[in-house]
Amino acid sequence: MTDRVREILGWYGGDNPGTLANLARLFASGRLAGTGRLLILPVDQGFEHGPARSFAPNPPAYDPRYHYRLAIDVGCSAYAAPLGWLEAGLGHGAAEIPLILKLNSHDSLGDEHDPTQSIHGSVDDALRLGCAGVGYTIYPGSGRRFEMYDELRDIAREAKSRGLVVVVWSYPRGGGLSTEDETAIDVVAYAAHLAAELGAHIVKVKLPSERLAQAAARRVYEEQRIPIGTLTERVRHVVQASFAGRRVVIFSGGAAKPSDEDVLAEVESVREGGGFGMIMGRNSFQRPHDRACALLARVAATLAA
């Protein structure tokens, strides 16, 4: 337990000792143990995008056992996946790394105008599997967002009462937003704030662009001269929007990038902007095992620098 981790735990004084212990467990695991930063491997892309789009670039990744080993070999802080995926790999290192059960998912087979999510796991499942936390996705901007907020309220209440960490994927999406708007800085900062308001211990968002999507927000950004010209400045603003940095905000690695240097440039911006780490899926498991381990070792070293 380092002073930095003690400081972070102090932001969650309203939570019970079991939740704080699991939060501390995340910050005490893997290459980044004790630094106050996190590197998480998420593998929910098979449900979200389909198996071929997710795993064909690296066929061993079709096997759920592969990802347990990858997360452990890399030294990740945690491994996050849906119920069936976690169950299929249990016994292949599950006791060696904290687990996060992703409770809901969205498939890519239907109408995207007002997307929602299917709940396919429970707090009981997370406890049965020995998880440190649960994950849940919301879509700010969807016409069905309030249903997701209500579901999250109930899930978060139960998870916290039973000592689990709540991780919220806050991904703006829906008929009211263009594809470019989904990563606009004002929209991403709003999404991060919403997740914190809804009770997330850890907020996951995408890296924001310099775009300003909302006219009312644009006036404020311009009048107050909020700096958003660089990715580092935008990360800093998103962290500020999450209770002045008193909620842990981690950033998605996004789609796989061919160049390791492109990945590392984003990671450096996250570190310099005060972000708490990365949650990297496709940039991990779509590379061969040795390349993924080498890249994520550099990611961890960059975050820890």
User: Which residues are identified as catalytic?
Assistant: 171, 204
Strand 104-105 and strand 118-119: the pairing is antiparallel
Q: Between the CA of residue 210 and those of 67, 213, 230, 240, 243, what are the distances in Å?
A: 34, 10, 8, 16, 21
Enter the tokens of residue 184: 């606009």
Residues in the chain: 305
Q: What three-state secondary structure class fits 66?
A: helix
Residues ≥6 apart with Cβ < 8 Å to 249: 192, 202, 203, 204, 205, 238, 239, 242, 275, 276
The residue whose two tokens read 């498991």 is: 285
> Is the CB of residue 148 less than 8 Å from the CB of residue 116?
yes
